[in-house]
Amino acid sequence: MMRSLLLAATCWQCLAPMATAGPAGKARCSDEELQIHARHDAGMGSHVGWRLTLEATGIGTVETDSGNEYHFRLSDDECAELVTVIQSTRFFDLKESNGVPVVESRYRDFEISLGTRRHSVTLFEGAELDVDRSAVRRAVRVWVAVRSLFNAPDAIDSREKDRAFLRDPERQERQHE
């Protein structure tokens, strides 16, 4: 009898992690303890900046400088994709500041927490010209993934330019010469 109880307890311990995962064993944001705070400051331009908060529950809020507020909820698949991008880019190893800060110019900053790790990265206007372009590309990949979480028509959206940089970083350098 004691042996059966021990076997049952052992089996429950094996199954318990599966019970807390989402469909097909995919991790949920709360399982990963994923949290993101991001901001795209539009500087002096005519674009509308925004601030994003993604809680560990997978619920996100975006507030734009024009006063609009948007809400979204990440699916388990979206959370798993985002975690994959964060880990594959080695986000937590990136330097904190990329590009040169210029008064009143655009910048993007984001802080990501995943489990016990927390890291912040700032991309200043012209960061694609940074000496360590491979690190900037890694940061931009994460930025594109974060910006792709929501649809806010009035918020500045650099994804088209960012994707062009990811496809051909040398082209971006030639455009700035």
- For residue 104, the model assigns a pLDDT of 62
User: How many Å apart are CA 104 and CA 110, to the nearest integer?
Assistant: 18
| pLDDT tens by residue, 104-126 | 678 899 999 999 999 999 988 76
Q: Is 81 helix (H, G, I), strand (E, B) or coil?
A: helix
Identify whether 40 is part of a domain.
yes
User: How many Å apart are CA 143 and CA 140, to the nearest integer?
Assistant: 5
User: How many Å apart are CA 35 and CA 33, to the nearest integer?
Assistant: 6
Q: How far is CA 142 from the centre of its chain?
A: 5
Residue 5 main-chain phi, psi, to 5 deg: -65, -40
Confidence at 177, pLDDT banded by 50, 70, 90: very low
Q: Which domain does 102 fall in, by range?
A: 30-176
Identify whether 104 is part of a domain.
yes
Identify whether 9 is part of a domain.
no
Identify whether 61 is part of a domain.
yes
Name the least confident of 58-62, 107-111, 127-131, 161-165: 127-131
Identify whether 100 is part of a domain.
yes
Number of domains in the chain: 1
- H/E segment holding residue 15: helix 2-20
Percent of the chain exceeding pLDDT 70 equals 73
Task: Identify the CATH number of the domain in which residue 123 sits.
Answer: 3.30.1560.10
| pLDDT tens by residue, 132-159 | 788 889 999 999 999 999 999 999 999 9
